[in-house]
Amino acid sequence: MIEGIIFDLDGVIVDTAKYHFQAWKRMAAELGVNFTEVENEQLKGVSRRGSIDKILNWGGISLSEEEIEKWMRIKNEWYLEYVAGMQPSEILPGADRIIAEAKSLGLKVSLGSASKNSRFILEKVNLIDQFDAIVDGTVVSASKPDPEVFLTGAKQLGLEPSKCLVFEDAVAGVQAANNGNMKVIGVGDSTILAEATLTFPNLENVRLKEDIIDKI
Ligand code: B16
Ligand code: MG
């Protein structure tokens, strides 16, 4: 029986990937590297450090540890400028309704995100008060597909992992949930997220109880 829900942030609750893309593209341009939307897709769910390592690798660039730290800081400053104007209207269709449905069913709700900016973003879209726990890149060190972020979420909710259900849009996130012995709802392309328990292209018309909990 499911007693808790753990939501990924980017790609499930909000589309921050487009803001990450703008900021990484700006950094890549300064470094004389072309960075494409196709490449950006591969950064979903990947940590900030993991992302810069990939971009530099694709661009054939090698930087000192100090330079890498500097560019991560600058990229994040740009990213924070872009997300500063986010509004509740940017919540992806159905995400807020599913969170509300979970709470009305008496389920606990946690965030499970790689982002170090998750609290800022949840405040911007007015959802921060809906979460019983927020587990993000500021509290965990291992990246998805390591299950640490979701196992920490289950622990903070006081639940066994097997009683938690994860919502994820990234392959590595789906694998992280499976590695943590949790059922997982893939949000996106069912062929890409084939390892998920169930997938939906988006959450717009999905009902938590009838379409998910009663079926898994
Ligand atoms: P930050 P998620 C992830 O969020 C993003 O998908 C990924 O593109 C980003 O690099 C990562 O957060 C770290 O974000 O730079 O804000 O710490 O999908 O795990 O919610
Ligand atoms: Mg995501």
26 is in an annotated binding site: no
Q: Count structural domains, the chain.
A: 2
In this structure, are 134 and 201 located in the same domain?
Answer: yes
In this structure, are 109 and 160 located in the same domain?
Answer: yes
Report the candidate in 49, 48, 121, 54 with the shortest Cα–Cα distance to residue 87. Answer: 121
Q: Domain holding 42: CATH number? A: 1.10.150.240
Probe ligand 1: pick from 74, 79, 113, 134, max atoms within 8 Å of CB? Answer: 113
pTM of the complete model = 0.96
Q: Which of 8, 53, 96, 129 is catalytic?
A: 8
141 is in an annotated binding site: no
Q: What is the ipTM of this complex?
A: 0.94
Residue after which a domain boundary falls, among 62, 83, 104: 83
Q: Domain holding 105: CATH number? A: 3.40.50.1000
Atom of ligand 1 nearest to the CA of 170: 18
Residue after which a domain boundary falls, among 45, 65, 83: 83
Domain of residue 101, residue span: 4-15+89-215
- The verdict on the CB of residue 137 being under 6 Å from ligand 1 is yes
CB 93 within 8 A of CB 202: yes
Centre of ligand 2 from the C-alpha of residue 11, in Å: 5
At 148-204, the pLDDT tens digits run 999 999 999 999 999 999 999 999 999 999 999 999 999 999 999 999 999 999 999
At 48-57, the pLDDT tens digits run 999 999 999 9
Q: What is the pLDDT averaged over residues 36-41? A: 95
In this structure, are 31 and 107 located in the same domain?
Answer: no
Amino acid symbol at 103: K
In this structure, are 50 and 104 located in the same domain?
Answer: no
Centre of ligand 2 from the C-alpha of residue 162, in Å: 21
Q: For residue 182, count CB atoms less than 10 angstroms from its CB and return exposed for 0-12, middle for 13-18, buried for 19 or more.
A: buried
Residue 193 to residues 167, 174, 178, 188, Cα–Cα distance (Å): 11, 7, 12, 7
